[in-house]
Amino acid sequence: MVYLIPEFLLVLVGAVGLVIAFAPSRPRLRAYSLVGGLTCFGGAVVAGYLAYLATTDLGAELAATAPGYLTTTLALDPFSRVFAVLSLIVCGLTFLLSKEYLETRMQDHQPELLAVIAFAAAGMSFLGSARELITIWFSIELLSVCGYVLAAFTKDDERSAEAALKYFILGTASSAFMLFGLSYVYGMTGRLDLVGIMEATAGDGIGVLLPTAAVLMLVGFGFKVAMVPFHMWCPDVYEGAPTPVTAFLSVGPKLAALAALARVFSTAFPHEVARVAWEGVLFWGALITMTLGNVVAIKQSNIKRMLAYSSIAHAGYMLVAVLVTLRSDLALSALAIYAFAYVFMNLGAFAVVTSFSNRTGSDALHSYNGLARRSPYLAWAWAFFALTLVGLPPTAGFLGKAYIIMAAWDAGATWNSPMFWLLVVLVLNSAISLAYYMGVAGRMFFKPPAHDDPVPVGGGVGTAIGLCLAGTLLMVLAAGPIIGAIQNGAVFALH
Amino acid sequence: MSLNDIFPETVPTGYYLVFAALLFCIGLFGLVSRRNAIGMLLSIELMMNAVNVNLAAFSRSGLEVGQIQGQLLVVFTVTVAVAEAAVGLAIIVAMFKLRKTVNADELNLLRG
Amino acid sequence: METLVFFGLAVPILVLAVVVVTTPHILRAVVSLFLALVGVAGLFFLMRAPILGVMQLMIYAGGVVVLFAFAVMLVRRVTGEFVRQQTGLAGPALVVGLLFFVVLMGIGSGYLAGLEDEAAAAGSVHPVSRDLAERLVLTDVPEEIDPVEDFSPVMIRDYVIPFEIASILLLVAMIGAVLVGHPLEQKHPGGEIEPEEPAEEGEGA
């Protein structure tokens, strides 16, 4: 039971939001976003303690005596609790950065939007710890349905409705494919838990049907992760959805799906035939995803579309960590570190965008000209987030990329091996990404503004930016404990 | 091959699988060919049903452990399909109110 | 006998499915889908999965299709004209559908043939594969398992967490459908719902 405190908190926050949606007074939004955000950060501390606990003898004892309904469906390992920390942080930061947007752009249904975000964060946390296909698929669906609702939230906006419709049609189609693959996996093994599938497929008798089913399942995950060629929805939805929702969608479903991807494929399909298939798909997927994301991002004129392609590129980097899960003990730590870094830097960048569009109503790149004079805080914050998104030392982004490269190296990326060239592409891509992140920063600092009206920063979103800045800087300190927790609790496959 | 081989006493699981694959592919055809969002959604419902038939067939002929789990998954699938249909149709209706169309190729506000 | 019933259900279902994806009249498509879903429910009964059959009839055929019908009517009221289903891209779509089917069947049958070869060559195959091969062709349904009685303990005891996730999912879907489908004029949350909305509300049950 104790293990589920983070999920309970998220569901509770969401439920409270639905109840106070009926309260008529205005301060409810301020109170809810503040209290909800604080609850999430408090919950993150608890979840962090649980992650630590899972590495200790006491944690092992608790896991061994956990009731059946927990052990059949959820993995009680440190990785899952580290992921719960991440979900709570994402939820808390989104609460804070949404407040001003909701006040200025949405007249009604404000608490409902935050409540749905909290439910989606709960789904994210469940997905990070599920060890069995029903739970995995269900958590994905919870995240998806929340995503459709969130994207459609400003329903008097045509762009929002269009984004939601595209997201919905492609999302349900991809989940149908995933489920079709899943049904074959179930049919061949008679099992739905990942370990059971692994045990049932050990040996030579399993032919080509299993890899086919695995690749079909990959379609569903690929859609959530926005892996090329399942990325088509991403720029449209990111542009059309309300900006705080875009911020959430760019981190929540993506990271949760990556974590589940790592768990599903390394636990359930570690044997030769299936493994060759999914590792091959992921290798080329990662390579093309990061390259396409970065190259197309350069040409964008809307900052939300640019960040959408940038998030596709980051998914490509993280897929490298997923790819080497079976070959390197470092891979999961690298994935977790990069996920944390990505949350802080990407939510930070989106917080800047939200704050700017709250006041100006524009997402066009040229409207950012001369922002340094109009709002130094936003401009400097962007410059910093851009540095860390590129991955320059000594920031969190650098740390994340360094760990991914270390993990890939550890997995045997010797000179001239395919993995080596994947890493070369990764580094080259980071260099390409410098162009567009710094291009925006250049506009802010060196181009003359159209007018000199200051751009005030709201309290909620300003705090979110500050927290993200602190997060990116303090990752250096947090990396050690995170790796320690994941490495010491080496029960990834078995629990 | 006698008539009894084609029409055995009980239905072989393979029959259900071929049937489900056909149903899935008809749904896939509809998904690609329809321009109307409601039509696409109807096609997706067909695909989901194909999955359900697959799961139930595998569950019927499954191992001891698998027996109920497959059926359980069908129950959950139906739940999700209902939830998705509710949300999706709400989105479609909202879209209609704004644009008077739900043809996919007329959705072109969001372009780079 | 059972196989005859199977064909008697399967062939009409497939025909109806083709109607669903090709007819230009959207209400005809919805009605065909309804009949196809009833047919699938019949298949569930044939598979001795009565729970699924009943669920299929009540939730799918009874709920989802009604939802579709409501949506079509609503849309018709808004646009003031009957919605016609247009089919573009039929050629490529046919290629995609057929290709997927052929690949799937090829892999499936190749898989079974591979198993037989292997069994002939080595004299034994991996137990799981042999099980599977037997299960694909043989049809002994163990009688001792009562699907109705064995169902609920598994669902409520072992799978209580997905069960709870389902409740959150349905809650979100209900809220989402009400909020998104809500008429634009109405500014206050929690107000009364327009008469044509209740189809979207019935899902929480």
Residue A495 lies in a domain: no
Q: What residue of B is the nearest CA neighbor of C109?
A: B14
Lowest mean pLDDT among A163-177, A345-359, A404-418, B82-96: A404-418
**First-residue to last-residue Cα distance in chain C:** 38
| Number of A–B residue contacts, CB under 8 Å | 132
Q: Nearest CB to A126: which of C130, C165, C175?
A: C165
Alpha-carbon distance of A243 to C11, in angstroms, equals 49
Q: Cβ distance A259 to A288 under 8 Å?
A: no
- Is the torsion defined by CA of C35, C40, C46, C50 positive or negative? negative
Q: How many domains are there within chain A?
A: 1
Lowest mean pLDDT among A16-30, A383-397, C122-136: C122-136
Lowest mean pLDDT among A254-258, B61-65, C96-100, C180-184: B61-65
Q: Where are the domains of chain B?
A: 12-101
**B76: which chain A residues are within 8 Å (Cβ-Cβ)?**
134, 137-138
CA distances from B12 to A321, C48, C56, C133, C137 (A): 43, 13, 22, 11, 5
Alpha-carbon distance of C29 to A369, in angstroms, equals 53
Residue A317 lies in a domain: yes
Does the domain at B12-101 match CATH 1.10.287.3510? Answer given as yes
| Number of B–C residue contacts, CB under 8 Å | 262
Identify residue A180 by its one-letter amino acid code. F
Cβ of B41 within 8 Å of Cβ of A156? The answer is: no
**pTM (2 d.p.):** 0.90
CA B106 to chain centre: 25
HSE, side-chain direction, 13 A CA sphere, residue C129: 23
Is the pLDDT assigned to residue C186 strictly greater than 50?
no
Is the pLDDT assigned to residue A292 strictly greater than 60?
yes
Q: What residue of C is the nearest CA neighbor of A67?
A: C158
Spell out the residues 6+ positions from residue B35 whose beta carbon is closer than 8 angstroms to its own: B103, B104, B105, C86, C87, C88, C89
Is the pLDDT assigned to residue C109 strictly greater than 60?
yes
CATH numeric code, C1-87: 1.20.120.1200
Average pLDDT, chain A: 87
Backbone angles phi, psi at A188, to 5 degrees: -80, -30
Alpha-carbon distance of B75 to C180, in angstroms, equals 26
> pLDDT for A96-153, tens place per residue?
999 888 888 777 767 888 999 999 999 999 999 898 899 999 999 999 999 999 998 8
Is the pLDDT assigned to residue C125 strictly greater than 80?
no
Residues facing B34 on adjacent strands: C87
Kindly report the nearest CA distance between residue A168 and chain C, in angstroms: 13
Alpha-carbon distance of A346 to A306, in angstroms, equals 12
> pLDDT for A301-333, tens place per residue?
899 999 999 999 999 999 999 998 888 888 888
CA proximity to A87, closest of A35, A42, A124, A55: A124
Which of C115, C131, C167, C180 is the mutation pick for testing A, counting most A CBs within 10 A? C180
Residue A91 lies in a domain: yes
ipTM of the complex in this document:
0.91
**C92: which chain B residues are within 8 Å (Cβ-Cβ)?**
32-33
**B47: which chain C residues are within 8 Å (Cβ-Cβ)?**
none
- Is the torsion defined by CA of B107, A119, A136, A83 positive or negative? positive
pLDDT of residue C195: 40
Angle between helix A459-488 and A396-410 (nearest 10): 20
**A119: which chain C residues are within 8 Å (Cβ-Cβ)?**
168, 171-172
**A161: which chain B residues are within 8 Å (Cβ-Cβ)?**
91, 94-95, 98-99
Spell out the residues 6+ positions from residue A147 whose beta carbon is closer than 8 angstroms to its own: A120, A167, A171, A249, A253
Q: Nearest CB to B83: which of C78, C170, C181?
A: C170
Alpha-carbon distance of A62 to A4, in angstroms, equals 13
pLDDT of residue B44: 93
Mark which residues 274-313 of A lie under 8 Å from B by CB: 299-302, 305
Q: Nearest CB to C111: which of A122, A134, A209?
A: A209
Q: Which of helix, strand or coil describes residue C117?
A: helix
Q: Which two tokens stand for residue A442?
A: 């250049």
CA proximity to A193, closest of A185, A205, A204, A184: A185
Cβ of A165 within 8 Å of Cβ of B70? The answer is: no
- Beta-strand ranges (E) seen in C63-150 are none
Lowest mean pLDDT among B96-110, C44-58, C76-90, C95-109: C76-90
Is the pLDDT assigned to residue B111 strictly greater than 60?
no
Q: Cβ distance C132 to A201 under 8 Å?
A: no
Lowest mean pLDDT among A51-60, A371-380, A421-430: A51-60
CB atoms within 10 A of CB A193: 22
Is the pLDDT assigned to residue C184 strictly greater than 70?
no
Predicted confidence band at C146 (pLDDT cuts at 50, 70, 90)? low
Of residues B101 and A246, the one with the higher pLDDT is A246
On whether any CB of chain C is under 8 Å from the CB of A201, the answer is: yes
On whether any CB of chain C is under 8 Å from the CB of A123, the answer is: yes
Of residues C152 and A420, the one with the higher pLDDT is A420
What would the DSSP string read from start to end of A247-277? HHHHHHHHHHHHHHHHHHHHHH--SHHHHHH
**B27: which chain C residues are within 8 Å (Cβ-Cβ)?**
17, 21
pLDDT of residue A96: 92
Identify the DSSP state of A4: G
Which of B3, B31, B79 is the mutation pick for testing C, counting most C CBs within 10 A? B79
pLDDT of residue C145: 57
Alpha-carbon distance of A153 to A132, in angstroms, equals 32
CA distances from A310 to A91, A335, A438, C11 (A): 21, 18, 13, 49
Predicted confidence band at C187 (pLDDT cuts at 50, 70, 90)? very low
> pLDDT for C76-101, tens place per residue?
765 555 556 666 677 777 888 788 88
CA proximity to A304, closest of A356, A213, A239, A244: A239
Q: Cβ distance A358 to A458 under 8 Å?
A: yes
